[in-house]
Structure formats: C-alpha cells, structure tokens
C-alpha cells in the first residue's frame, strides 16, 4: 500500500487588534497506510507586517491557510511526511533485534 498524508489546520490565532490578522497557525499531518496511522504537527508564526493581498478572516479557507503554512515551512515542508512515513515503515517492517534470548546450554 501507499502511505497517504493529509494536512489539516487545527487552530489559528490572530492579533488582538480587531483587524482579523492571523498571526499563528497550528497544523497537523495525518499519515496512514492501511490500518497503521500516525500524526505530527506544530505551530508556525506568520509574518504580520506589510501584508500583501490581505484576505479577511471570514473569507479564509483551509487551503489558503495551508498554503501559508507550506510557504512558512519552506525546505522543511516534507519533514513531517518523512518522519511519519519512517515510523509507519518501522511498524510494518520492524528492525531485527540486536540480541536474542536463548536457553542456557546447561
């Protein structure tokens, strides 16, 4: 099977100035392969000065906000997917133990 990764926005915080400017976003990445699943996530702070193309809070969509998160993560974007996939693979194909227990020879 193929591991699927689904990104979700869990929470948004806005500046306390009645302008509806989102200043931080908590997100999670849910990864699944068959019956095995895991998730990871974090919170990113967004640039809130000199905002271009302002979108009012009520017009935001999850896809727009996910775009902000992806842009903010930059080259670290894939870390959650890679780490989640590694964990799932370790469950599906556990590494051999370094030692094994054996009966005493006497």
- What does 12-30 look like in DSSP terms, one character per residue? EEE-SSSS--EEEEEEEEE
Whether 23 is covered by a domain: the verdict is yes
Q: Residue 52's pLDDT is what?
A: 81
Whether 98 is covered by a domain: the verdict is no
Tokens of 81: 């997917």
Query: 22, 65 in Cβ contact below 8 A?
Result: yes
Sign of the alpha-carbon torsion through 45, 50, 54, 58:
positive
Whether 97 is covered by a domain: the verdict is no
Tokens of 84: 């989640």
Q: Residue 12's pLDDT is what?
A: 96
Residue in 39, 43, 8 with CA at minimum distance from that of residue 25: 43
The list of the chain residues with pLDDT below 50 reads none
Tokens of 42: 């974090």
- pTM for this predicted structure: 0.81
Q: Residue 5's pLDDT is what?
A: 96
Whether 50 is covered by a domain: the verdict is yes
Residue 75 belongs to domain spanning: 4-92
Q: Residue 11's pLDDT is what?
A: 97
Q: Residue 41's pLDDT is what?
A: 95
Question: Radius of gyration over alpha carbons of the chain, in Å?
Answer: 21
Q: How would you list the strands of the sheet with 36-45, edge to edge?
A: 4-14, 22-33, 36-45
Whether 101 is covered by a domain: the verdict is no
Q: How many domains in the chain?
A: 1
Q: Residue 53's pLDDT is what?
A: 84
Whether 74 is covered by a domain: the verdict is yes
């Amino acid at each position: 099977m193929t591991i699927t990764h689904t990104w979700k926005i869990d929470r948004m915080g806005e500046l306390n100035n009645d302008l509806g400017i989102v200043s931080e976003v908590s997100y999670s990445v849910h990864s699944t392969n068959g019956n095995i699943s895991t998730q990871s996530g974090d919170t990113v702070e967004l640039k809130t000065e000199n905002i271009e193309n302002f979108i009012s809070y009520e017009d935001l969509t999850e896809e727009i906000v996910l775009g902000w998160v992806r842009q903010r993560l930059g080259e670290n974007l894939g870390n959650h997917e890679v780490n989640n996939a590694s964990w799932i693979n370790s469950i599906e194909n556990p590494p051999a133990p370094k030692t094994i227990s054996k009966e005493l020879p006497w």
